[in-house]
Chains A and B, each alone.
Chain A
Amino acid sequence: MHPSQRIHEKLGEVKAVSAEMILEVKNLIKHYPLTSRGVFLKKDVGVVHAVDGVSFSVRKGETFGLVGESGCGKTSTARAILYLDPPTSGEIYFEGQEISKVFKSKNQQEILKLRRKMQYVFQNPYASLDPRMTVADIIMEPFVIHKHVPKEKWSDRLYELLELVGLEDYHAERYPHEFSGGQRQRICIARALAVEPRLLIADEPVASLDVSVRAQILNLLQELQQKFGIAYLYISHDLSTVRHICHKVAVMYLGKFVEIAETSELFNSPLHPYTQALLSAIPVPDPENKRSRIVLPGEVPSPINPPAGCRFHPRCIYAKEYRCMENVPELADVGNGHLVACNKVSK
């Protein structure tokens, strides 16, 4: 048996995307209080509306893309799902289980069980590895915490994991500073896989890597998914990698979803004006591809005082026509599971 299969034998073979939901998020809200420090007391002076009511679901073995510009709430959503920053309100179901109930129960055993199933690969592989631990220590730390592998099998598992992510055995005794960015990201992925997760949240996993290395990591993620049927929540601002790796994509703007659709549907017929602008703004590596580029005026407004009505209206060319400063558009299905929140489309 291939070592990689042994690691995930408990999960069973999940080859294709199944209909079964692994993660369901309903009306997730995450607000961060803004405080100013007085002489004695902290005073609340405002609220950052980082995530403002997003709902979506991820199926088993699926890659769900979360796209948007910096500050739109992608990472806040991911952190809320993992309860790294408890959500302000909303329901998150993982394999049918309400996760906030588990975390609020303070039952360490149950919490660990849940954490084992959901893992996070961070954006910056330079900051997310402890510089004073060897690669072996880093990858085996989950075994210490979760105790799901008997001690005598630790080193076997370690080498299996290294092989799985394309590293060599002799790398185990080295320290993170001896590795390049791409190799570090492989170590992060190996560490996440050590607990046999079913959902992997990848927060801009290739943003800080060079183009040639980027392709290696993206291919690795795809291979691992095909082998083990892990679901990914793939967060990125880079639409070209999203198109490459995701099955379904949600476009986020200022804490809200503006459009959700299957990847090919979204890229071929984007309906929301923001998605259209975002897609047209991507530089295409082809000098003769002279697409009409929609250049959005202005910048993303502050999430402390998000605009009334449709949050995109100050930058939208259709805003006047459809009175978007008053009418808040709701996500509506336009067919094929393609959801759009735009007054222009729904009329």
Chain B
Amino acid sequence: MAPKEILKIENLTTYFYTWAGVVKAVDGVSLDVKEGETLGLVGESGSGKSVTALSILRIVPRPGKIIGGKIIYKGENLLDKTENEMQQIRGKEIAYISQDPATSLNPVFTIADQLTEVIRRHQDVTKEEALKKATELFRLVEIADPEIKIWNYPHQLSGGMKQRIAIARALSCQPSLLLADEPTTNLDVTIQAQILELMKNLKKKLGMSMILITHDMGVVAGVADRINVMYAGRVCEVASTRTIFRNPLHPYTRALLEAVPNVAMKREKLKIIPGAIPNLISPPSGCRFHPRCDFAVAECASAVPPLVEIEPEHYVACIRAKEFMKNSGK
């Protein structure tokens, strides 16, 4: 039996109403996260990964607005909740780790203040108990000397340490779902390896689900169970990590994989995706990737390709996916 879905997004649409026009940042995104699973959300900047995450928590900044769709979390639609109910969910049920740990911590409060604030907001404990819990969290994220470090201010800590604290704060109320938005982008490779290892272990230990947002194909390959490839506000391919890397069917997924230089590979010319990411105020008609696609046909410009299950558990939004499937030798 397939594991239960903890989160199901249907046709989510989030637009930003700017003076220059309506930016269609997320335009009909559907995805689901199963219990205990890590879903990788992959795409370039401007593909709508972060806005999807912010929409789940309903913290899309102005002038952004969720226009339509459903976000079903544990059977309830988050878009029907009141602001008060959402506050009970944020941090407690669904936690968020932002891209830049340096700016997500408040510079004028100690780490102890910031951690106990979250704990006391959601749990009925005294200050002393909260502090004890915070110290335990420090041990969980493997920070040395927690009793001393907890009284530090953010500027006294390194980038890797700050990201560990951001993770500790996110985990403080044992959330069921963790949204990690490029958690290692600003870190050095050796620190990135530490943090990824830590997140993997914690996920196993606490049994939560995770959405990992990243543009680094290397990072998702090592961490995610399933991958959701996004382009210009839409999902273009969903499959298990293995399938995405072994048998990618959407031309964008293929191009993305071929554009990444690989340390395990020899020196040759990188494949280029011609052009740039489209402007989302007036995105291309039909399939949004068609102006950059090597395989585009006339029909691509007129019809929006639906996300179709091409083989079990492998969804592709491309009208020529079936052809590619045959050519790949199956």
Contact = CB atoms under 8 A, between A and B. Distances in A.
Interface of A: 69-70, 180, 182-183, 210-216, 218-219, 222, 237-241, 243-245, 263-264, 267, 277-289, 293, 295-296, 299-300
Nearest to B222: A283
Interface in B17-61: 44-45
B261 A218 contact: yes
A222 B272 CA distance: 13
Given A210-B277, A216-B272, A287 B217 contact: no
Given A211-B44, A215-B272, A293-B193, A284 B255 contact: no
> What are the nearest 5 A-B pairs in CB distance?
A283-B218, A281-B193, A285-B217, A215-B270, A212-B273
Contacts of B221: 283-287, 289
A282 B196 CA distance: 11
A205 B58 CA distance: 36
B148 interface: no
B290 to A, nearest CB: 15
A278 B189 CA distance: 7
Contacts of A213: 276
Contacts of B263: 239-240, 243, 267, 279, 282, 284
A243 B261 contact: yes
Interface string B208-250: 0000000111110110000000000000000001100100000
15 contacts: A183-B276, A213-B276, A215-B261, A218-B270, A244-B270, A281-B190, A281-B193, A282-B189, A283-B193, A283-B216, A283-B219, A284-B262, A285-B260, A287-B241, A295-B194
Contacts of A222: 269
Nearest to B258: A215
B44 A288 contact: no
A183 B276 CA distance: 9
B257 interface: yes
A10 to B, nearest CB: 28
A295 B197 contact: yes
Interface centre among A213, A267, A283, by most B CB within 10 Å?
Answer: A283
B204 interface: no
A213 B273 CA distance: 8
Contacts of B270: 215, 218-219, 244
Given A214-B259, A283-B192, A299-B161, 10 more contacts: A211-B260, A239-B263, A243-B267, A244-B261, A278-B190, A281-B190, A283-B193, A284-B262, A288-B242, A288-B245
B273 A70 contact: no
Contact of A286 (B197, B219, B264): B264
Contacts of B277: 180, 210
Contacts of A69: 188-191
A247 to B, nearest CB: 9
Interface residues of B, number: 42
B271 interface: yes
A263 B271 contact: no
B186 to A, nearest CB: 9
A285 B257 CA distance: 8
Contact of B215 (A210, A238, A243, A279): A210
Interface string B292-310: 0000000000000000000
Interface centre among B161, B190, B218, by most A CB within 10 Å?
Answer: B190
A212 B245 contact: no
A211 B260 CA distance: 6
Contacts of A216: 272-273
B190 A296 contact: yes
Given A211-B217, A212-B44, A283 B190 contact: no
Contact of B194 (A240, A279, A296): A296
Contact of B196 (A214, A283, A300): A283
Nearest to B270: A215
Interface centre among B45, B267, B270, by most A CB within 10 Å?
Answer: B270
B262 A285 contact: yes
B160 interface: yes
A215 B271 contact: yes
B194 A182 contact: no
Given A240-B263, A289-B264, A211 B215 contact: yes
Contacts of B267: 243-245, 263-264
A180 B276 contact: yes
Given A212-B259, A299-B191, A282 B197 contact: no
A282 B215 contact: no
B126 interface: no
